[in-house]
Structure formats: structure tokens, C-alpha cells
Chains A and B, each alone.
Chain A
Amino acid sequence: MRTRFNWPLWSGLALSLIAFATYFSLFVAQPSTRDLPWPTFILFAIAITLAVIGTGRAFAAEPRSRARRVIASIVAFLTATIFVFFCFAIFVATKMLPKSNEAIAVGAKAPDFALSDINDKPLALSQLVTAPGTKGVVLIFYRGYW
């Protein structure tokens, strides 16, 4: 008897990878899908459902095949692991920030500095805050490596 391709199993794994990748390539750009990643969760829910159905198929398949069961279990485990890793990456790892107790407080003088701009020309804070027409400056510190 010919064994049929277990499409729910493999599409579950593929969808899990797609769910992971599209969060970082697509959904992270919009605050509404970044802060609470509901489209990503829907994709993962479908992926895990497919993986469970696929595993059920492998276990119910005739003739009974130990190899198919082992492969199905591994693929289903990987599908779920991608989801767990995603949750860790966005809910735990992104909160691993220092307390920054020494950060300059509201009401304190902002230390002056001069740093190179994108044309390698030095630009000073004192120069920026006193520029004509400006009410002030927003200093945005970011992690870099974009």
C-alpha cells in the first residue's frame, strides 16, 4: 500500500516558520501587530493544529510504521518549539534591559556632547538646542545595527 504524503504535518511546520519570519519582516513595523502579535498567534495556532492533525495521521496510518511516527513526533515538536522560541524572543528577551538607575533625570542638565553625524561632521547638543526656531531636542538612544 502506498503511503500518502502527510501534508498537515509538513504544512504545519512550514506555517510555523512563516509565522516566525513574518513577525520580524512584516508585523513588527506596525505597533498594533507588534505589541500584541495577534496575526502571528493566529498563524501559530493554525500551524500547531495542523501539526497535531498530522501527528494523529501518522499514528493512525496503516500499515503501522515506527519511522513515520518518529518523524511525525519530531516535526510536531519542532513546530511547537518555534512557537516557544518566538514567545521567549518577544516576551522575555526584549525585557532583558538594565535598570538604568543612573540615567539623567527630569530637571537635570543634559550633558553637552559633540558626535559625528552621517557625513562625519561633529554636531553638538548645545548647537542643536539653540538652533533658531526650535523649542528643544529629543535625544533618541537606540540599539543600532539596523
Chain B
Amino acid sequence: MQPVAISVDTPEQSRDLAHKAGYTFPLLSDRGALVIRRYGVLHPKAGVAGADIARPAEFLVDRSGVVRWRNLTGDFRVRARPDEILAAARALP
């Protein structure tokens, strides 16, 4: 199971985060929030200086590119736990 993180941060900001936190999975930069908008998870004007950012959300995509599980939290302090994601991943073919 490959985790991939997406935010409006620049590649430089993401690189700092990856180094600081020791992340080895891809962190992708969606500067204009185009992919974020495409996935319907835009949080308009919620960023610094009223920038459009992503709301926290997780999607599990199978090998054929179909969404098999998703989580849209109602509270951004509370995200999907690793065990929830792994349980959904185990159900994949």
C-alpha cells in the first residue's frame, strides 16, 4: 500500500517536512489546488492570507484506479488512523 500526500505546499516546503519528519513516501505539490478541486476536497480561503487549501481527506485507490474507501473527517484534529486505512486496504483484491 503506497501512501501519497497532497497539499498546496511547494516542493521545497514539502521537502523540508519530509526531511524533518523522516517521510519517505511521495509528497506532491498542488500549487493551484487543481487536483484538490477535482477531487472535491477544496477548503476555500482556509489557508494563510485566504488561500484555497485542501480539507483533510483520504482516498484509497485500487490498481484499476477506482476509489475503494474514503474518509472525510468532520474535525481536522481527527484523521483516519493507520489501522482503519490498513483494514480498508486488506479488503482490496
Contact = CB atoms under 8 A, between A and B. Distances in A.
B2 A137 contact: yes
Interface residues of A, number: 49
A102 B43 CA distance: 12
A50 B27 CA distance: 46
A143 B57 contact: no
B74 A95 contact: yes
B72 A100 contact: yes
Contacts of B5: 140-142
A102 B53 CA distance: 16
A115 B28 contact: yes
A94 B47 contact: no
How extensive is the interface on chain B, given as a class? Answer: 35 or more
Given A101-B40, A143-B46, A31 B81 contact: yes
A131 B67 contact: no
A60 interface: no
B65 A129 contact: yes
Contact of A138 (B60, B66, B76, B77): B60
A110 interface: yes
A107 B66 contact: yes
Question: What 5 A-B pairs are tightest by C-beta distance, nearest first?
Answer: A144-B7, A102-B40, A103-B40, A115-B28, A141-B54
